[in-house]
């Protein structure tokens, strides 16, 4: 099927009229400018999923943000925990309660529609159980509509698969993350 940039010029316009918004989204996707697409960084090691997701969030390569020593510590410690998480965000130029805020999700609410609605349209990092390492956590990047799993092994592909443990929501210029919260 050929896609028309202007749906009114499409021979199927009358049929598609009720689905105009979906059709226009499909056309935008079909004719998207690949140069303006977001670069998605993959893990370089087994345990640097947070670094790959932060690199995707700030659109800078992992090796430009974190030193080889910091990356080696992440691998040696089998991930980022506690202060190393805060350090990773700071080195990426992101400040807690200014550029992002963290939400801890009680297990009873992990698959709640309320949590998913909170994420709708907002960029975030999502902590979930790892699919590849037993009893470990994993970080995913959420662009507001889609999941990006930086793993080079088994990956999550849709929101319904997730049991959220923690979420880092990015400020998007809407005042949602104000100083002092």
Phi, psi of 147 (to 5 degrees): -95, 140
Beta strands 137-142 and 147-148 are antiparallel
Domains of the chain in sequence order: 7-36 (no CATH), 49-170 (3.90.70)
Check residue 179 and give its pLDDT: 44
Q: Which residue has the tokens 């998480």?
A: 85
State the pTM of this model: 0.74
Quote the pLDDT of residue 180. 41
Which residues is 167 bridged to in the sheet? 103, 126
CB 42 within 8 Å of CB 52: yes
Q: pLDDT in tens for each of the 181 residues of the chain?
A: 344 555 555 555 566 566 656 656 665 665 555 545 789 999 999 999 999 999 999 999 999 999 999 999 999 999 999 899 999 999 999 999 999 998 887 766 666 677 777 888 899 999 999 999 999 999 999 998 889 999 999 999 888 888 888 899 998 754 444 444 3
Residue 168, both tokens: 């880092």
List the structure tokens of 11: 């021979």
């Amino acid at each position: 099927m050929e896609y028309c940039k202007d749906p009114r010029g499409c021979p199927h316009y009358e049929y598609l009229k009720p689905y105009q918004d979906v059709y226009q989204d499909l056309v935008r996707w079909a004719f998207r400018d690949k140069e303006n697409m977001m670069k998605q960084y993959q893990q370089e090691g087994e345990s640097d999923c947070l670094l790959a997701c932060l690199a995707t969030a700030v659109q800078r390569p992992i090796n430009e943000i974190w030193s080889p020593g910091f990356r080696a510590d992440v691998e040696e410690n089998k991930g980022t925990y506690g202060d190393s998480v805060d350090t990773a965000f700071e080195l990426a130029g992101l400040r807690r309660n200014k550029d992002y805020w963290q939400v801890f999700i009680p297990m009873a609410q992990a698959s709640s529609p309320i949590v998913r609605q909170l994420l709708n349209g907002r960029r975030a990092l999502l902590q979930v159980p790892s699919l590849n390492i037993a009893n470990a956590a994993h970080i995913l990047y959420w662009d507001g509509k889609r999941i990006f799993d930086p793993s080079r092994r088994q990956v999550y592909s849709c929101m319904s698969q997730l049991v959220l443990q923690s979420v880092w929501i990015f400020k998007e210029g809407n005042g949602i993350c104000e100083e002092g919260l």
